[in-house]
Amino acid sequence: MTDNPFEVLRLAPTAGPEEAVRQAARLAQRATDEADRNGIRQAVRALTGSDEERALHALLTHPGPRYGSVALEQFQAAFRRPPQPAAAPSVPPLDLEEFRAPLLAALAAQLPPAVLPLEPIELTESAEEVARQSAEALWQSLIGQPRG
């Protein structure tokens, strides 16, 4: 609910205190709960209190408010309560297979992937040849990255 008393009472900002009291009485008769009635009472107090407070609320209100229309009131009068269903809708039984498939997919997505063993490679070169190529690569890397 809004805090502006003119909007609570659905009044134009030019309405006087007497009109605010009349409108509050009409709205209080239609109010459905105590919270709405309390809001209406507070709005009337704000508009019938000091002139400065009323003028401030009038300045904060739209100059040409349209709170209701004939079509809206007719609609509200026609449909005051929501329609009551004739019978409770039937709920189909739980299909376990349909439930199981997305559940298994979600669980599989959470599991870490299995680490596969490395495949053994065939050694085509001797250990001396590998050591010689490693030493050569080290010497050639000293040109670009000297180590001191």
Q: What is the pLDDT of residue 129?
A: 92
Q: How far is Cα 75 from Cα 98, in angstroms, rounded to an integer?
A: 43
pLDDT in tens, 120-143: 888 888 989 999 999 999 888 888
Domain boundaries, given as residue ranges, for the chain = 5-78
pLDDT in tens, 27-83: 888 888 898 899 999 999 999 988 888 888 888 888 877 777 788 778 878 887 777
| Options 3.40.50, 3.90.640, 1.10.287, 1.10.20; CATH of 5-78 | 1.10.287
Q: What is the pLDDT of residue 2?
A: 59
